[in-house]
Structure 1
Amino acid sequence: MAGTAAALHILVKHKEKADEILLQLKKGAKFQILAKKYSTCPSGKKGGDLGEFKKGQMVPAFDKVAFTGEILTPHLVKTKFGWHVIKVLYRT
């Protein structure tokens, strides 16, 4: 079982915007560019890079995707902060 993960994310307020971002990613848009453009999280300035984090460090819904979701596939998750488009880079 992985103890740490690394991920990129884009945080937005509305599901419609998150869906639109997912669609752009499917069409080949670069995750980091979309993060800089749309993310309301400070990590957006770094292309959505959250770096490496430990299991349990993020809110539960986010944590679940980070540690069980398919790697390198964008996932949509709702938390108290809004809608996250998450791309897990790796787990260790």
Structure 2
Amino acid sequence: MRGRFFSISFSIALAGAATFLPASPFIAEAQAQSCGQLWYQRNAIYARAGYCFQTARARATFGENCFPPYGRLSPNQQARVNALQYQEDMRGCPR
């Protein structure tokens, strides 16, 4: 009986928690990361898309190579960048 009560209570708690989950799976993944990790992931997306970085930090991390499409992102990449930027803003990370 005790195990069944726990199972029902746990299911109810999970159902209530589901309403507070982020709308994007990218946000859920990003929530457990530091500002530095968020910065790296965001800029790695741009680097893979050939973005020409202007800052010394980004150039030191990702190199000075840029190529077409010069940072133009697909809709999925842009959604990921937006989610990472949102998390950076929520944490007060510098950009």
| TM class, shorter-length | under 0.3
Q: If each structure's helix is expressed as a fraction of its own residues, which one has the higher value?
A: 2
Work out which structure has the larger RCO, using CA pairs closer than 8 Å and 6 or more positions apart in sequence. Answer: 1
TM-score by length of 1: 0.23
